[in-house]
Structure 1
Amino acid sequence: MTSETSRGIVRSSELTRFRLAPNPGPMSLAGTNSYLIGAPGAAGAVAVDPGPLDERHLHALAGEGRIGLILITHRHADHTAAAARFAELTGAPVRAADPAHCHGAPPLQDGETLQAAGVEIRVMATPGHTSDSVCFHLPQDGPHGSVLTGDTVLGTGTTVLDYPDGTLADYLGSLDRLERLGPATVLPAHGPVLPALDEVVRAYRDHRLGRLEQVRAALRAIGAGAGASSQTDVGAVTDAVYADVDPAVRRAAELSVAAQLDYLRGQGR
């Protein structure tokens, strides 16, 4: 579904539309996808991740109809910076798992079901990218449902674990949980819409486990044990495992290595 309005709003599924925020970069890729959820003919819409503080972007979202609720997938600024302003602009409350990003409403709870804009929205805690990451499952969106995955599953590339707030053990558990939703449509916060969540999740898991093997090999090569945790060891493992990484995302690679070392320490190997 690729129809686009004059405001840059693109249809992404039967029950969702999105607008690409003007914040491209090494971590945000082409920019943040700000979603609108609403059943055909519904009087209003739910907004997800209003994104950066950009007035043109926010007015375009607000111009698509009354916004009754604003949801946040996780705490990072490319998703939350505009939340307070968008709440002011629309009069809608903001709900997130982290109370610090809520405005006029309580925090989201894992397993909670929301009924808004004619749509059933199920809240799923999916920590790993960050500790407060959540996904929003829309079971009635098309034949297999859809999931707004925030940064837990991206439309392209792989997810950074914001260690120590995000951990690999949590992330693998979240992938297991998402896989059980089957071939739902993936509505990511960055990158294109993807089919078959379960297939994407399996590829993500394989990638993570493959990286773990590379980290183990790097530890053996530098003579460090699985308990390695110093910044020197993180740097050496990053040099070995992410040898061709763009300097712009070097810090993200180091965070992922630190998360993997932490995981290996917990596994005892």
Structure 2
Amino acid sequence: MWVTSSALTRYRLAPNPGPMSLDGTNSYVISARDVSGEDAANASVPVVVVDPGPRDATHLAELAAAGRVELVLITHHHPDHTEGAADFHRLTGAPVRALDAALCLGGPAVVDGEVIEAAGARIEVLATPGHTADSISLLLADDGDHGSVLTGDTILGRGTTVISYPDGRLGDYLASMRRLEGLALAASGPMTVLPAHGPVLPDLAAVARAYLAHREERLDQIREALAELGDDASVGAVADLVYADVDPSVRRAAENSVAAQLDYLRGWA
């Protein structure tokens, strides 16, 4: 099922729900043509696909049928975003571009600040590392009244994202969140958040502030745990204290978050 998410975008939910992917991956289609009207499934309408998602034949076929795919963009390397990319490239012939050249097929790696003109839309690449080292967000300044940002897993539609340490680093993540907050505050009004998991959110600045506050609260909890356990406490011991109530299915993610926070507090650079 297609969901219209903004004036320039719609998405199809991939069939890969789970503790870390929430309801599944939102695979987005960007097009300057009316994505909610009669052009929504017109094979001649140029489109950009963001994060084709898992290697699911039905899902990829539906994405390919959304229009004439000019370009595929990848927000980061995790399999729930990229597993189907090679099949989708063969299916559509469209180049696949990402910050990591190893993920690219038929096109060069994107670079921070690059402006891509495709499917009648202007897409600006923003390097937003932290969740992973190769995480990017995509600014659609002309999307609706105040613009939108496809945030990949840097911002989720529900809950908060995991720092995939040591690939992702908390210091990078905080800097990326401040960059997104600054971008949003410079806009003429609330910018729409188009996350790769969970529902669309209406106000990027508000979400970025909430994420930053949440991270500071967690860091305070880690500091308190270290005061009780000692500065050389292990990741597991800190996680037992700070994340005592987490479901076992996300215990590994909790330990990963603790490792990232300890890395940051112990002299991240």
| Same fold at TM > 0.5 | yes
**2:102 and 2:244 mapped to 1: Cα distance?**
37
1:3 matched residue in structure 2: none
**2:181 and 2:93 mapped to 1: Cα distance?**
36
TM-superposition CA deviations, 1:6-57 (whole Å, max 9, x none): xx11110000000000000000000000000001268310000000000000
**2:182 and 2:97 mapped to 1: Cα distance?**
25
**2:211 and 2:159 mapped to 1: Cα distance?**
9
- RMSD value, Cα: 1.2
1:138 matched residue in structure 2: 140
Instruction: Please report how far the alpha carbon of residue 74 of structure 1 lies from its aligned counterpart in structure 2 after TM superposition.
Output: 0.1
2:112 matched residue in structure 1: 110
Aligned pair partner of 1:206 in 208, 213, 219? 213
For structure 2, the 5+ residue unaligned runs are: 35-43, 185-189
Aligned pair partner of 1:177 in 154, 171, 179? 179
TM-superposition CA deviations, 1:110-141 (whole Å, max 9, x none): 00000000000000000000000000000000
Q: Scaled by the length of structure 2, what TM-score is found?
A: 0.93
Instruction: Please report how far the alpha carbon of residue 64 of structure 1 lies from its aligned counterpart in structure 2 after TM superposition.
Output: 1.3
Check conservation: 2:171, 2:268, Cα contact below 8 A. no
TM-superposition CA deviations, 1:68-91 (whole Å, max 9, x none): 100000000000000010000011
- Give the total of aligned pairs: 255
Partner AA of 2:16 in structure 1: N
Partner AA of 1:219 in structure 2: L
Instruction: Please report how far the alpha carbon of residue 267 of structure 1 lies from its aligned counterpart in structure 2 after TM superposition.
Output: 6.5
Partner AA of 2:238 in structure 1: V
Instruction: Say yes or no: does 1:192 pair with 2:185.
Output: no
What is the identity percentage for the equivalent residue pairs of Structure 1 and Structure 2?
Answer: 64
**2:181 and 2:84 mapped to 1: Cα distance?**
31
2:28 matched residue in structure 1: 35
**2:194 and 2:243 mapped to 1: Cα distance?**
28
- Aligned to 1:266, what secondary structure does the other structure show? coil
2:89 matched residue in structure 1: 87
2:249 matched residue in structure 1: 248
1:239 matched residue in structure 2: 240
Report runs of 4+ in structure 1 exceeding 2 Å deviation: none
Q: Scaled by the length of structure 1, what TM-score is found?
A: 0.93
